[in-house]
């Protein structure tokens, strides 16, 4: 198993998952497993959980330039443990990797970084909050005020994020079930960031402003073995309400869906399997395969019936782990903007 396959496997993307993760649900090789009823405590839980196999700090932002053009921005720090716990210097079993991307209607740029834990090259501290890999970082006195930076060969960004609402816990107080068999993760979000800053592209600097959404998730058993990938939506409607929803695809055809409706004041209502319905309505040819880039989403409990379309259908993250991730526009009963992530489509 090579580095790429390992990371790939740990994220539960693609077919390798089925073989590699078999049996992990019951025996997590000494890793801690998410527990129903575990009370999430902040700011401690903003930091890393090295006893769990996998964890991420995931920021997506919908931004607008001075000319009204839409931009999407992604900043992700993944932690993936070869074994539970920490170790000094190179003995650390923690592997970190970062993904960053900037998407416009015309161009999608993405890059990645890798690091080992233990040397200081990458890590997360809860207070004051800092998450970093190399020179990329998301840091501030608290999670409410953060500065987010990343650079790649052909892009860079540096934005300030200010939280204008509370943290939202998904599922049962942050215990988010991922399959009918009970696989789960700890999952919370901060979807209320206001953002202001600059994106640097080869053609120059662009001042941008907009909103951002931070996702925090950790687990040791993210998917059931027959699940082949997921379609994940984070949508902010013009009304101030928000929706987090995902569909876990099953090789046998039975999908597992889950959603959280977030009121403008941050009040969260979870919806279990089957309530949210996500249907692909249009695919695009991306990297030689057909990927759904236009969706119909319905959540009858909220009288939601929207179509979600990609700003740039070619937002393919062609990295060590490849997946589709990009900004979307929402039309229908609840117009707005958001982000779409789709994994498990690539043949990597």
Partner 1 sequence: MTGAILSALASHWRRNRLQLLTLVLGLALATALWSGVQAINAEARASYDAAAATLAEGRFDQLMPPEGDAMPQALFVALRRAGWLVSPVVEGRLRVGGTAVRLVGVDPLTAPPGSAARAALARADLDRLVRADTLVAGPQTAALLAANLSNPVLVDQAVAPGTVLADIGVAQKLLGRAGRISRLIVLPDQPLRQRPLAEIAPNLLLQRADGATDVGRLTDSFHLNLTAFGLLSFAVGIFIVHGAIGLAFEQRRGMVRTLRALGVPLRRLIVMMVLELVVLATIAGALGIVLGYLIAALLLPDVAATIRGLYSADVAGTLQIRPAWWLSGMAMALGGALLASASALWRLARMPVLASAGGRAWALATGRTRKLQAAAAALLLAAAGVLAVTGTGLAAGFALLACLMLGAALALAPCLGAILRLGEARAARAMAQWFWADTRQQLPGLGLALMALLLAMAANVGVSTMVSSFRLTFVGFLDQRLSAELYVDAEAVADRAGLERFLETRSDAVLPIMSVDATLAGLRAEIFGARIGYTYRENWRFLDAVPAVWDEVEAGGAVIINEQLARRAGLSVGDALALGPGLSMPVAGIVGDYGNPIGQAIVGEALFRQAFPGVVPRRYGVRTDDPQGLRQALVEAFDFPPARLVDQAALKAFSLSVFERTFSVTGALNVLTLAVAAFAILMSLLTLAAMRLPQMAPVWAMGTTQRRLAGMEILRTVLLAALTAVLALPLGLALAWVLLAIVNVEAFGWRLPMYLFPAEYTRLMLFALGAALSAALWPAWRLARMEPAALLRIFANER
Please report, as ranges, the residues that interact with partner 1 according to CB under 8 A: 1-4, 6, 82-83, 89-91, 93, 95, 97, 111, 114-116, 119-121, 132, 134-135, 151-156, 200
SS3 assignment, position 84: coil
Q: How far apart, in Å, are the Cα atoms of 50 and each of 4, 35, 89, 227?
A: 20, 16, 15, 25
Q: State the Cα torsion 310-311-314-318 to the nearest 10°.
A: -90
Residue closer to partner 1 (CB basis): 152 or 266: 152
Distance in angstroms (rounded) separating the CA atoms of residues 275 and 246: 11
Residue closer to partner 1 (CB basis): 16 or 83: 83
Distance in angstroms (rounded) separating the CA atoms of residues 178 and 159: 32
Whether the CB-CB separation of 163 and 193 falls below 8 Å is answered with: yes
Distance in angstroms (rounded) separating the CA atoms of residues 119 and 199: 30
Closest CA to 266 of 195, 189, 322: 189
Minimum gap (Å) between residue 327 Cβ and partner 1: 21
Minimum gap (Å) between residue 96 Cβ and partner 1: 8
Q: State the Cα torsion 270-275-276-278 to the nearest 10°.
A: 160
Minimum gap (Å) between residue 151 Cβ and partner 1: 4
Residue closer to partner 1 (CB basis): 34 or 117: 117
* Residues 183, 188, 194: CA angle, nearest 5 degrees: 150
Residue closer to partner 1 (CB basis): 81 or 195: 81
User: Quick one: tokens of 167?
Assistant: 């943290």
Whether the CB-CB separation of 99 and 21 falls below 8 Å is answered with: no
Minimum gap (Å) between residue 116 Cβ and partner 1: 6
Minimum gap (Å) between residue 34 Cβ and partner 1: 23
Residue closer to partner 1 (CB basis): 152 or 166: 152
Residue closer to partner 1 (CB basis): 89 or 180: 89
Minimum gap (Å) between residue 124 Cβ and partner 1: 14
């Amino acid at each position: 198993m090579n580095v790429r396959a390992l990371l790939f496997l740990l994220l539960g993307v693609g077919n390798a998952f089925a073989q590699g993760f078999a049996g992990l649900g019951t025996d997590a090789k000494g890793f801690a497993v998410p527990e129903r009823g575990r009370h999430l405590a902040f700011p401690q839980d903003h930091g890393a959980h090295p006893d769990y196999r996998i964890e991420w700090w995931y920021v997506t932002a919908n931004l607008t330039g001075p000319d009204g053009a839409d931009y999407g921005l992604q900043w992700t720090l993944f932690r993936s443990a070869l074994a539970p716990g920490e170790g000094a210097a190179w003995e650390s079993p923690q592997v970190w990797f970062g993904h960053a991307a900037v998407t416009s209607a015309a161009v999608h740029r993405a890059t990645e970084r890798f690091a080992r834990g233990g040397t200081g090259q990458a890590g997360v501290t809860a207070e004051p909050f800092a998450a970093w890999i190399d020179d990329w970082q998301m840091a501030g006195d608290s999670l409410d005020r953060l500065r987010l930076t990343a650079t790649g060969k052909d892009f860079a960004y540096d934005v300030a994020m200010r939280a204008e609402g509370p943290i939202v816990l998904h599922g049962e107080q942050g215990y988010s079930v991922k399959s009918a068999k009970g696989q789960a993760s700890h999952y919370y979000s901060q979807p209320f960031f206001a953002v202001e800053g600059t994106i640097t592209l080869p053609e120059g600097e662009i001042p941008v402003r907009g909103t951002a959404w931070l996702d925090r998730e950790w687990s040791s058993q993210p998917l059931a073995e027959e699940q082949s990938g997921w379609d994940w939506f984070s949508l902010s409607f013009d009304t101030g309400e928000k929706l987090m929803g995902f569909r876990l695809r099953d090789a046998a055809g039975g999908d597992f869906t889950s959603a959280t409706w977030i009121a403008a004041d941050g009040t969260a209502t979870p919806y279990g399997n089957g309530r949210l319905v996500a249907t692909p309505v249009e695919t695009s040819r991306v990297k030689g395969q057909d990927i759904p880039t236009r969706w119909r989403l319905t959540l009858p409990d909220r009288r939601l019936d929207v179509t979600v379309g990609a700003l740039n259908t070619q937002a393919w993250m062609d990295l060590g782990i490849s997946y589709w991730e990009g900004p979307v526009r929402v039309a229908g009963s609840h117009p707005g903007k958001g982000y779409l992530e789709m994994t498990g489509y690539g043949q990597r």
